[in-house]
Amino acid sequence: MRYPEVRQQNRKMLLLLITGLVLTLTLMSLPLCSFDVGVYTKKSGNTFVGDEKYQAARKEVEAIAEEYRGQGLDVEIHEDVLERVNSKGKTTSLVTFTVSQTFSRNVFSFIGCGFVSSAAAAILLGLMILAAVLTVLGLSGTEDVLHRYLDGRTRTLRSLAVTALVMAVCLVPVFILSNNVVFSRRLSLYSAELITEGREIFFSKLDRFFFDGGMGENIGDALQGLKLTASPLLWLMAATLFISLVAAVSLLRGEIRSGLLRGGLYVFVAVVCVITLYPYYVMTITAFRSNAETLDMYYLHMVPTKWIWSNLTDIIRRGVPRYLMNSLFVAGGATALAMLCGIPAAYAMARMNFRGKKAFLGFVIMSQMFSPVVLLIGISQLMNTLQLNNTLWGLMLINAAFNQAFAIWLLRGTFVSISSEMEQAAMIDGCGTVGALTRVLIPMAAPGIVTALIFVFINAWNEYTIATVLISTAQNRPITVGITQFSSFNMIEWQYMFAASLLATIPVVILFMSIEKHLTAGLTSGGVKG
Amino acid sequence: MKKRLFAMFLILALVLCMAPAAFAADDEITLDVIICQYGPNTNEWFLGTGMNGTNFVEKFEAENPGIKLNLDVVSWNDVYTEVDTRIANNNAPDILNIDVFANYANEGLLMPVKDYCPEDLFGDFFPSFIDQSVIDGTVWAVPDLASARALFYNVDILNEVGVEVPTTWAELEDVSQAIIDYYDGEVYPWGIDMTTDEGQAAFAYYTWGNGGGFVDANGDWAVNSAENVEAIEYAIGLINQGYTNPNPATQTRYDLQDMFAAGKLAMVIAPNQLPTYVADKGGEINMATAGLPANEGKTSSSVGVMDRVMAFKDESAPDQAARNEAIGKFLKFFYDPENYVGWVSMEGFLPAVNSAVEALVAADPSFAAWLDVLGGCQFYPAAKAEWDQVKQGVIAAEQNALTGADVQAELDALQAELMK
Amino acid sequence: MSNGLNRTKWEPYVWLLPSLILIAVFVVFPILIVFKLSFSEISKAGVIGGFVGFDNYVEAVHLPAFKTVMLNTLWWVLSVVILSTVLGFIIAMVLNQKFRGRKIARSILVFPWATSLVIQASVWNYIIKYEYGSLNNVLLNLGVIQQAINWRSSYQIEFVWECWVGIFVTVPFVTFCVLSGLQSIDGSLYEAATMDGAGFWKKLRHITLPMVRPSLTVSTVLNIIYVFNSFPIVYTMTKGAPAHKTDTMITYLYMLSFYERKKGPATALSVIGFLILCVCAGIYMMTVMRKEEEQ
């Protein structure tokens, strides 16, 4: 099977691919990254050009510049004067001297300097070469064959070549980003001595990169205002790489679309999962930070430098287990009660005809329309009358009541979706209605019931507002209220708050995850017929 | 068949009945006490093991047989909600520790202090503090503790920039500009808190520093005076010029303190316990205090904040005299230097009774200076009935001004509402 | 659904009774109290006085922030419900595909649902702090940004963040409702459609959407109620600052009641909110029931 058009097209693509690769390599050897290295900065407030303070500062700066020149650097002195007229009509000024030199480096020079970005550059180069080699290997005798008629080996080679190129393209931004991180942020942190860990190594690498190791010990003092300006050519490089990628993909027509879709799916799921987990990451990380590190104003540490496990023991000492037990009691009791009342009601709604059925449904839904916050006064008055103020029982009853609507709605749907034949058979066999319900229907409706159960449990576990008002002694607090003791008049103790939050969240999450499978099943039976 | 159904009902009925059973009445007096949560140790002190292994409640009950304390430590976030809800249900606490009292007193909910407070204890309170809780000649609450506000500044930052501590508003702007220039905006020169919880403090700092204030010379509300408008416009101006923390409407005092402790904020008006707090947070800030800056030609006045303890009426109590006596015993125990000194110093507050001064100064000499400051402090007009409304009103006015509203119009509207 | 068994006339009511009592005592009774309160004078400290007619309502409607708050509430409910429904639908479509790690992904998605709103709101409040928040920390340390960003530079943006947290906690519920709907779809329907040459959009419109509509409507109605009544997010993140510009109705009436001590108008507002919800739900229920009858 040979088609002249195919050959022509394949050749064009090949040509484009080669041009792209060559162009990228050329660009990489051009000086793409320029650095403005301020080896010394001096700021002088309340100083006027020409006055004593100015002269002194100027002299100091010139001496330092001279010293650097002696070391073979080609430094220049910049002077920046900022003048302000103050409220008394006096002019004040801030004079800033910078001694600086500019450097340019190409991508190749990064390789071997030992930074993160150097690794990215090296891998990028390696991948490009790999892609080129694989493409060549997969080329022989195939130039006028349509992709789908290729043999398996060639196909694999080409897929690999494309993968390598994709990865190379992805590495360009990584390279640029890591450059920024390393050179701007790390350097400023090291210069200000906000972190000292790894400072020596970092500076010795910088020394080798800029001065071929010539600055020795002084490098730390010298590099105060290092700024990186990535040349726009870098993006040009990314563009050419991208073009070669497109060419490579075109060489491999077919199969790519589904592959990309699949890749897109994974990327999407990964993004969703990362965003979802992010607050939990924050919670966990912060829970083990030291008090000072929770307020990391210079953004120094993504993870705690030291994991403070005593945060956990501290909150345990401060009553959190008690609160957890209270929550467990309230949520468990509320769930049991809600089910006990909800199952018969849902059964009646699903299986029986009676006057006022719709009215009851409306009544149930209406009961959900008021936010508990709004009902605070009413609820508290009621609890007073019933002598249930400041008791876990009161909280339990309230939670059970406020979750009736959801429980009934879900359970009714579940029961409706199950055929009533089995129960009828059971009833004919001599079971009463209750027997039919407990022996036949409930086992069959298990997924729906489990779902409703978990729902009520979680809602009750997470309830906060009513509990704050209803509970007035420490030993009766549920965990949601207990957590507030860590944000007091004088300070918020983020680490304790999040440690307690973690303890409050983990049981529920585990519970929820364990029924995840039933969850959809339960909602299916319950929801669709809703 | 019906039996099972009845069994289910029985369970329900049981559940409903069990709770009240937990409440058994007996002869002893039970006092409901609400204490606000001041810091991480408050809870420990009253309910945990923070009082040398025991706690306030246990110790009190051991020393005063026949009186039971039903004491709750409530966070400031929830305390108004809880107290108001309980009042609405005729279930007010017996003893309450909070900042405001005028509404409760005006609505006849409180007992006059002389009904329950022992003479000797009453004489022990700083008279100037007692004066703050008087309405129509009757004392309705006793001071619990106090704090004084002062300007704290980061000495290193000001030295580095080469500026002096500002004493006037104009100087404050100059210094702020210099700090901004020097640090390229990395350091905030000035901290302002106009949040829904604390904005009234900002109002006090600036208006009092301009000869204005919440009330005029006769003690009538005068929130829209020319001085006040100028003061608030000045504060808003500081924010708009970028001299302050960027989000004053949501950045609370905690945030400002944290920034100060991290060296990110050069100057902030803060309560006297700031150094304790900074040390807690592991900050090593070289700080000093100064008076609040005032407008040119005006004198600044330091700002004091005081919280109170009050007792509610309870007509349902069978023996009023015994109840009053029990409340008195509670206060006696509370202000007993043995207990009180620990409580006040634990959170770094200033005391309200003379008997505690000696011990506190002995423990920390810096207290003496603060007590002097406290002597000359101005307090919020919390004894006036509309104080809540004014407090929220000025906060709303500030926050509206932050989003571009006209200060004069906002304060005029508030004043008009107050005069209604 | 009569099944030929002899039930007495009152039997269904016996079955309903426990639930009825529970709701009547613990939900309806407080609601009635609130209704009564909305026509009573309530003092600043909370003492309940006599009947004042519609005074509280008149005062509530004339509050300066009333209009802003109503608009905010509308935006809050619309944006959270609509966006989380759309997002949840998309995520459910994706999670309904077969791929490796699907189980893990589903379990992860459950997390926000299982976490208390107070905790969620606190965590997000910490995340978006300008000076030390985790978002700036992570982005800076990963090199995505060079300079810390003020994530809450204006109240409009803060409101957007509040909506985002609302969406974040609502999406899982929608996702699982839709997933349950998707799972009830017979795979052969799609095969038949593919044979007929139907594309992705066509299949979506003619098979998927009609089949998940019941789950979607149910989740939407519940979400409207829950989102409308949601309190902790706004309260924890901004307390409505500045000057109620980020308040929704529920937080506003809380602030009104406990901060500004205007308890009368606050109660009146809560009744107004209740009526609004009732009207919405009433319309919904009527349309749903009409449809059921049509079928």
Instruction: Give A175-211 pLDDT, tens digit per residue.
Output: 877 777 777 778 778 877 788 888 888 888 888 888 7
- Whole-number pLDDT of residue B205: 93
Provide the CATH number for the domain around residue C97: 1.10.3720.10
Contact C263 B12 (CB under 8 A): no
Interface of B with A in 177-196 (CB under 8 A): 177-178, 181-182
Determine the structural domain holding residue B86 and report its residue range: 28-146+305-375
Distance from CA of C173 to the nearest CA of B (A): 30
Q: Are residues A135 and A201 in the same domain?
A: yes
Q: Are residues C32 and C133 in the same domain?
A: no
Interface test with A, best of C123, C147, C170, C177 (most A CBs within 10 A): C123
- Whole-number pLDDT of residue A197: 81
Residue C29 covered by a domain: yes
pLDDT higher than threshold 90 for residue A338: yes
Q: Are residues B133 and B41 in the same domain?
A: yes
Q: Are residues A207 and A329 in the same domain?
A: no
Distance CA A241, CA A411 (A): 58
pLDDT higher than threshold 90 for residue B227: yes
Q: Are residues B177 and B325 in the same domain?
A: no
pLDDT digits (tens, 9 = 90+) for B349-387: 889 999 988 888 888 887 888 888 888 888 999 888 888
Distance CA A293, CA A273 (A): 27
Q: Is B162 left (phi over 0), alpha (psi -120 to 50) or beta?
A: left
- Whole-number pLDDT of residue B14: 46
The winner for highest mean pLDDT among A175-179, A357-361, A379-383 is A379-383
Number of domains chain C contains: 2
Q: Are residues C78 and C28 in the same domain?
A: no
Q: Are residues B184 and B248 in the same domain?
A: yes
Q: Are residues B367 and B255 in the same domain?
A: no
Q: Are residues C137 and C14 in the same domain?
A: no
Q: Are residues C42 and C95 in the same domain?
A: no
Distances (CA, A) of B227 to A241, B222, B418, C9: 66, 10, 18, 78
- Whole-number pLDDT of residue B207: 94
Q: What residues of chain A lie within 8 A of the CB of B47, using their CB?
A: 474
- Spell out the residues 6+ positions from residue A26 whose beta carbon is closer than 8 angstroms to its own: none
- Whole-number pLDDT of residue A179: 77
pLDDT higher than threshold 90 for residue A397: yes
**Residue of C18, C255, C258 with shortest CB distance to B12:** C18
Q: Are residues B414 and B353 in the same domain?
A: no
Q: Are residues B210 and B344 in the same domain?
A: no
Residue A122 covered by a domain: yes
Contact C259 B85 (CB under 8 A): no
Q: What does the DSSP assignment read for B315-360?
A: TT-S-HHHHHHHHHHHHHHHH-HHHHHHHHHHTT-B-SBGGGHHHH
Report the share of chain A in percent with pLDDT over 90: 14
Q: Are residues A140 and A20 in the same domain?
A: yes
- Whole-number pLDDT of residue B24: 42
Q: Are residues B264 and B119 in the same domain?
A: no
pLDDT grade for A141, boundaries at 50, 70 and 90 = low
pLDDT grade for A393, boundaries at 50, 70 and 90 = very high
Q: Are residues A84 and A207 in the same domain?
A: no
Q: What residues of chain C lie within 8 A of the CB of A350, using their CB?
A: 1
Helices B226-240, B387-402: inter-axial angle, 10-degree rounding: 40
Query: Average pLDDT of C231-260?
Result: 88
Contact A345 C20 (CB under 8 A): yes
Q: Are residues C40 and C72 in the same domain?
A: no
Q: Are residues B139 and B34 in the same domain?
A: yes
Provide the CATH number for the domain around residue A333: 1.10.3720.10
pLDDT higher than threshold 80 for residue B408: yes
Report the share of chain C in percent with pLDDT over 90: 33
Pairing of strands B95-98, B303-311: antiparallel
Q: Are residues A343 and A394 in the same domain?
A: yes
pLDDT digits (tens, 9 = 90+) for A18-32: 888 888 888 888 887
pLDDT grade for B223, boundaries at 50, 70 and 90 = very high
pLDDT higher than threshold 50 for residue B184: yes
Q: Are residues C177 and C126 in the same domain?
A: yes
Q: Are residues A204 and A349 in the same domain?
A: no
Instruction: Judge whether B247 is closer than 8 Å to chain C, CB to CB.
Output: yes
Which of A383-397, B308-322, C1-15, C131-145 has the weakest average pLDDT? C1-15
Q: Are residues A68 and A190 in the same domain?
A: no
Residue B275 covered by a domain: yes
Interface of C with A in 163-202 (CB under 8 A): 168, 176-177, 179-181, 183-184
Query: Average pLDDT of A108-115?
Result: 80
Contact C108 A276 (CB under 8 A): yes
Number of domains chain B contains: 2
pLDDT higher than threshold 60 for residue B6: no
pLDDT digits (tens, 9 = 90+) for B267-306: 999 998 888 888 877 778 899 999 899 998 888 888 888 9
Q: What residues of chain C lie within 8 A of the CB of A398, using their CB?
A: 26
Q: Which residues of A300-314 are buried (b: 16+ CB within 10 A; e: fewer)?
A: beeebeeebeebbeb
- With the CA atoms of C37, C39, C45 and C49 taken in that order, what torsion angle do they form, in degrees rounded to the nearest 10? -100
Contact A527 C99 (CB under 8 A): no
pLDDT grade for A293, boundaries at 50, 70 and 90 = confident
Distance from CA of B71 to the nearest CA of A (A): 6
Residue B1 covered by a domain: no
Distance CA C172, CA C169 (A): 7
Q: Are residues C22 and C125 in the same domain?
A: no
pLDDT digits (tens, 9 = 90+) for B243-268: 999 999 989 888 898 899 989 999 99
Tokens encoding A172: 């360009």
Distance from CA of A280 to the nearest CA of B (A): 23
Distance CA C253, CA C269 (A): 7
Residue A129 covered by a domain: yes
Distance CA B275, CA B289 (A): 10
Q: Are residues B211 and B311 in the same domain?
A: no
Provide the CATH number for the domain around residue B129: 3.40.190.10
Q: What does the DSSP assignment read for A194-262?
A: S--TTHHHHHHHHHHHHHTT-SGGGHHHH-SS-EEEE-THHHHHHHHHHHHHHHHHHHT-SSHHHHHHH
Q: Are residues C37 and C90 in the same domain?
A: no
Determine the structural domain holding residue A471 and report its residue range: 310-527
Q: Are residues C273 and C248 in the same domain?
A: yes
- Whole-number pLDDT of residue A95: 87
Residue B189, SS3?
Answer: strand
How many Cβ pairs within 8 Å bridge chains A and C?
Answer: 303
Tell which of B375, B391, B408 closes a domain.
Answer: B375
Determine the structural domain holding residue C14 and report its residue range: 10-53
Q: Are residues B215 and B279 in the same domain?
A: yes
Interface of A with C in 297-356 (CB under 8 A): 297, 299, 301-302, 337, 340-342, 344-345, 347-354
Quick check: bond before C242 cis, omega within 30? Answer: yes
pLDDT higher than threshold 60 for residue A214: yes
Q: Are residues A326 and A354 in the same domain?
A: yes
Distances (CA, A) of A65 to A76, A78, A80, A457, C76: 7, 11, 16, 71, 60
- Whole-number pLDDT of residue C221: 80
Residue B20 covered by a domain: no
Q: Are residues C30 and C149 in the same domain?
A: no
Q: Are residues C78 and C134 in the same domain?
A: yes
pLDDT grade for A146, boundaries at 50, 70 and 90 = low
Beta bridge partners of A187: none
Number of domains chain A contains: 3
Query: Average pLDDT of A60-78?
Result: 84
Q: Are residues B134 and B175 in the same domain?
A: no
pLDDT grade for A228, boundaries at 50, 70 and 90 = low
Q: Are residues A388 and A485 in the same domain?
A: yes
- Whole-number pLDDT of residue B202: 94
**Residue of B75, B280, B282 with shortest CB distance to A485:** B75
Q: Are residues C75 and C145 in the same domain?
A: yes
Report the share of chain A in percent with pLDDT over 70: 90
pLDDT higher than threshold 80 for residue A515: no
H or E element at residue B208: helix B199-208
- Spell out the residues 6+ positions from residue A126 whose beta carbon is closer than 8 angstroms to its own: none
- Whole-number pLDDT of residue B17: 44
Q: Are residues B179 and B319 in the same domain?
A: no
B neighbour chains, 3+ CB pairs within 8 Å: A, C
pLDDT grade for A110, boundaries at 50, 70 and 90 = confident
Tokens encoding A243: 């073009």
- Whole-number pLDDT of residue A225: 64
Contact C131 B259 (CB under 8 A): yes
- Whole-number pLDDT of residue B21: 41
Q: Are residues A197 and A315 in the same domain?
A: no
Q: Are residues A350 and A246 in the same domain?
A: no
pLDDT digits (tens, 9 = 90+) for A431-455: 777 887 888 888 888 878 887 888 8
H or E element at residue A93: strand A91-106
What pTM, to 2 d.p., does this model score?
0.87
Closest chain C residue to the Cα of A367, Cα to Cα: C27
Closest chain C residue to the Cα of B8, Cα to Cα: C18
Q: Are residues A161 and A131 in the same domain?
A: yes
The winner for highest mean pLDDT among A48-57, A336-345, A490-499 is A336-345
